Amino acid sequence: MKTKWIALLLAVLCVLPLLSACGETQKTGDEKPGEEVAEFTLPQYDFDGHEVNILSVGRGSVNTNDFLYDDVNPTVIDAAIERRNRSVESLYNIKIVTEQKNTTANQQSPEAYRVLVREATAGDTNYDFCIIPGYDVSQLAYEGYLSDLNALPNFDKTHSWYDEKANETFEFADSLFFTTGDFGISMMDQTYCIAFNKDLAEQYNVENLYDLVNDYEWTIDKMYSIAKEVADDTDGDSVTDVYGTLYWVDAVYGAVNAAGQKMVTLNNDTLEYELTINTEVTNNMLERFYNMVKDTKSSIMYTHNSKGKEYIPIFSGNKALFFLTTIGKLSEFRDMETDYGILPYFLYDNSQTEYYNTVAPFYMNYLCVPLMVEDDERTGAIIDAIGYFSEKEIIPAYYDKTLHGQYTRDEDSSEMLDIIFSTRAYDLGYCYQPANLNKNLIYMLQGGSFDWQSRYASLERPAKLVLSIISEAYRKAVGAEAAATSAN
């Protein structure tokens, strides 16, 4: 499609709130203080009223649609989504619509997978792009049903509205089939964190937890020692009434990443996905984590799908000091009378110089483009514009107004959020789930026994076989078989 320069449209756009998109110099997000800021201008098109159809798939009770909003009783997020949508629609003369599909499946959501397989098989181009959960988008990618975003005209992964760590994790031989960024809130909602009850911390004379984080003394051993000190049988019946730690089984994923470890990593030289979880650091971290959470005198487990949502009365009722959860869950405690703070996940030890906070794979949604689209130049331009205006509208609304204004209750917690969001960790092993190796981390928690080494030994071979198949599929998808063969 040729670029259509329409003077009248540009004149109108430049007097609207879209002024910054009409040739104004913009920061890219990579510049340092004192450096000259590179100019960035959104390309100008007129797409003649095109209806942009977005496939949005939610999972279980978390059916976030990043493009729908309530215009009757809008929240700050609703208002931001509307402003973002209207800006993009006005800029390119388009109409944004979404096709919402939800699933209650525990693993893949067939709604997403089947739709895009059917689209590719039939040669249809019903969707401009899609927002799909991590388990499904990863399978669609290596099976060849998605477009390479890096090859898409007008798409530039280096823009500040795309998540650099996600790009680094999911890229394969310079091809990127899915990523995430500022277009939606699931990237932040599904980030792991630890909340703590301030009243209990004061009551039991807990040292300043924010100082521990800032001094890189916030380790798993330190957390466990504090949890044991707080755990209390208040009525003398030999049953714990106040717990040190409230956790759910998926928290073990966060423990692995918190130590700077990954279950699966891409070897860029051989273009092979490799198991990288069987390290001394990982094994030690897992042993420490299991020792902490299986200490039933100081720890108690909950599940996200429990009918009574037991974690709410436990934490809000001053029955647990630490709460291992995700940022999105904190919205359920807005009305909690007791004050609470937020911390990143713990370090492996105090020699570690960076925190790592897992992005949950189950509910996390990713941006992708079907294998075939009607106009790839148009799709790329629209995606980039959505990212640009999302950075200007969605992120301030979510981060500054919703989080800093409602979830967090002190400036220290806001600073902790800065740490958490800047240290997000994505793990391919949690998406590809080779031989259910990741699930066995959870099964041990549920079974109450720490036998990771034996479980790993029994699953290593089939897990490596799965990763080998996935690696080969990716190499075929990107045409890199020859390069991989020569590297080996």
Q: Cβ(443)–Cβ(378) under 8 Å?
A: no
Q: Is 21 part of a structural domain of the chain? A: no
**Positive/negative CA dihedral, 33, 344, 220, 430:** negative
Whether residue 463 is found in the same domain as residue 379: no
- pLDDT at residue number 60: 59
Provide the domain count of the chain.
2
Question: What are the Cα distances from residue 90, in Å, to 99, 170, 197, 340, 377?
Answer: 21, 32, 46, 42, 18
Whether residue 307 is found in the same domain as residue 434: yes
Instruction: Give the range of the structural domain holding residue 94, as residue numbers without chain letter.
Output: 40-188+363-406
The 10 Å Cβ neighbour count of residue 229 is 14
Q: Cβ(207)–Cβ(232) under 8 Å?
A: no
Whole-angstrom distance, CA of residue 99 vs CA of residue 451: 45
Per-residue exposure over 77-110, b if at least 16 CB sit within 10 Å of its own CB, e if not: bbbbbbbbbbbbbbbbebebebeebbbeeeebbe
Whether residue 275 is found in the same domain as residue 385: no
Question: What are the Cα distances from residue 414, in Å, to 188, 304, 380, 417, 462?
Answer: 14, 25, 34, 5, 43
Q: Is 33 part of a structural domain of the chain? A: no
Whether residue 217 is found in the same domain as residue 293: yes
Query: What secondary structure, in 3-state letters, does the chain show?
Result: CCCCCCHHHHHHHCCCHHHHHCCCCCCCCCCCCCCCCCCCCCCCCCCCCEEEEEEEEEECCECCCCCCCCCCCCCHHHHHHHHHHHHHHHHHCEEEEEEEEEECCCCCCHHHHHHHHHHHHHCCCCCCEEEEEHHHHHHHHHCCCECCHHHCCCCCCCCCCECHHHHHHHCECCECCCECECCCCHHHHCEEEEEEEHHHHHHCCCCCHHHHHHCCCCEHHHHHHHHHHHCECCCCCCCCCEEEEEEECCHHHHHHHHCCCCCEEEECCCCEEEECCCCHHHHHHHHHHHHHHCCCCCEEEECCCCCCCCHHHHHHCCCEEEEEEEHHHHHHHCCCCCCEEEECCCECCCCCCCCCEEECCCCCEEEECECCCCCHHHHHHHHHHHHHHHHHHHHHHHHHHHHHHHHCCCHHHHHHHHHHHHCEECCHHHHHCHHHHHHHHHHHHHHCCCCHHHHHHHHHHHHHHHHHHHHHHHHHHHCCHHHHHHHC
- pLDDT at residue number 82: 96
Amino acid at the residue 402: T
Token pair 């009378």 is at which residue?
Answer: 337
Nearest alpha carbon to residue 260 among 362, 326, 342, 353: 353
Whole-angstrom distance, CA of residue 297 vs CA of residue 420: 29
Q: Is 15 part of a structural domain of the chain? A: no
Q: Cβ(173)–Cβ(142) under 8 Å?
A: no
The 10 Å Cβ neighbour count of residue 469 is 13
Whether residue 44 is found in the same domain as residue 164: yes
- pLDDT at residue number 135: 84
Q: Is 394 part of a structural domain of the chain? A: yes
Whether residue 443 is found in the same domain as residue 390: no
Whether residue 44 is found in the same domain as residue 125: yes
Whether residue 183 is found in the same domain as residue 197: no
CATH number of the domain where residue 303 is located: 3.40.190.10
Residue 8 phi, psi (nearest 5): -65, -45
- Considering 376, 406, 436, which residue would you say is the last residue of a domain? 406
Q: Is 11 part of a structural domain of the chain? A: no
Token pair 């110099």 is at which residue?
Answer: 25
- Considering 347, 378, 406, which residue would you say is the last residue of a domain? 406
Q: Is 8 part of a structural domain of the chain? A: no
* pLDDT tens for the 488 residues of the chain, in order: 433 333 323 333 333 333 344 433 344 344 333 334 345 689 999 999 999 999 998 765 556 789 999 989 998 999 999 999 999 999 999 999 999 887 655 554 567 888 899 999 999 999 999 998 888 899 999 999 999 999 999 999 999 999 999 999 999 999 999 999 999 888 899 999 999 999 999 999 999 999 999 999 999 999 999 999 999 998 889 889 999 999 999 999 999 999 999 999 999 999 999 999 999 999 999 999 999 999 999 999 986 544 445 888 899 999 999 999 999 888 888 778 888 999 999 999 999 999 999 999 877 889 999 999 999 999 999 999 999 999 999 999 998 887 877 777 788 888 999 999 999 999 999 999 999 999 999 998 888 878 899 999 999 999 999 999 999 999 998 885 434 333 44
Whether residue 150 is found in the same domain as residue 274: no
Question: What are the Cα distances from residue 194, in Å, to 61, 313, 381, 394?
Answer: 22, 17, 38, 24
What is the total residue count of the chain?
488
Whether residue 285 is found in the same domain as residue 393: no
Whether residue 320 is found in the same domain as residue 463: yes
Residues whose CB is less than 8 angstroms from the CB of residue 191 and which lie 6 or more positions away in sequence, other chains included? 326, 327, 357, 358, 359, 360, 420, 421, 424
Whether residue 401 is found in the same domain as residue 423: no
Nearest alpha carbon to residue 257 among 293, 288, 281, 224: 281
- pLDDT at residue number 81: 95
Q: Is 223 part of a structural domain of the chain? A: yes
Q: Is 95 part of a structural domain of the chain? A: yes
